[in-house]
Amino acid sequence: MKKIKIAVAGSSGRMGRALLEAVLQGADTELGGALEVVDSPSLGKNAGEMIGAMSDVLVSADIDAAIAGCSALIDFTRPEGTLVHLAACRKLGVNLVIGTTGFSESQKKTIAEAAQDIGIVMAPNMSVGTNLVFKLSEIAAGVLKDGYDVEIIEAHHRHKVDAPSGTALHIGGIVAKALDRNLDECAVYGREGVTGERKSSTIGFATVRGGDIVGEHTVMFAGPGERVEIIVRSGSRATYAQGALRAAWFLAEKKCGLFDMQDVLGLR
């Protein structure tokens, strides 16, 4: 069976460990590198030991060495770190799967420019089920155009630093486009006090943070006499890891280009 070699960034974090487990357990994947920041206490440790598995790979801060010979690097870290990894991948011709969120427009432009030389899959959520929700939300918005108010509710663990989630914002953008609206103009990110009657053109966002919630998203279309809800609940980071591996395999046959999970899953 053909295998591809994959490196994992942020390997000692919650998502990093889920990725290590998926790669090491995969019948068609091989761990090629495990990256961490220079002051991480995990440096020099066996990457497999962090998840109770066997591995020949040591956790390293040497980006070039960690990704050399790999088909792809999977990165669910922070925008600044991802851009450093992007430059190294571009230099060495290694594809990049980006699950990081919170990029500025200029940072997104840098990623798009790098995609002229390497294959990149960038998505706010790598979960297969969540990407199906993206498509279902687009279809629902196209059908429920008139008389339905749109609200997007998301919940994540207490450690998540951005709000609303990149996934919620992405859903909002999809719905706004289907309704021929500009999300920057119609989004409402919080309500407090006497807000007045809801404007029918708005798309509302509500955020919950607490405990160890992995990720939940609800897209609500509230109309007269009925409510349509599209819900996805992730109980494990394994679903994101498996989606990322599918993205890495998708890129294995690409020389360059910028793609997302809709491309990977054939939902375009």
Arithmetic mean of pLDDT, 7-17 = 95
- In terms of pTM, does the model score above 0.75? yes
Q: Is the pLDDT of residue 1 over 70?
A: no
Residue among 160, 170, 254, 255 flagged as catalytic: 160
Domains and CATH numbers, the chain: 4-122+237-264 (3.40.50.720), 128-234 (3.30.360.10)
- Per-residue pLDDT of 76-95, as tens digits, reads 999 999 999 999 999 999 99
Q: What is the 3-state secondary structure (H, E, C) of 206-239?
A: EEEECCCCCEEEEEEEEECCEEEEEEEEECCCHH
pLDDT digits (tens, 9 = 90+) for 203-235: 999 999 999 999 999 999 999 999 999 999 999
Catalytic residue at 217? no
pLDDT tens, position by position, 16-58: 999 999 999 999 999 999 999 999 999 999 999 889 888 999 9
* Percent with pLDDT over 90 in the chain: 91
Q: Is 156 a catalytic residue?
A: yes
Considering the candidates 85, 156, 170, 217, report the single residue annotated as catalytic: 156
CA–CA separation, 36 and 203 (whole Å): 38
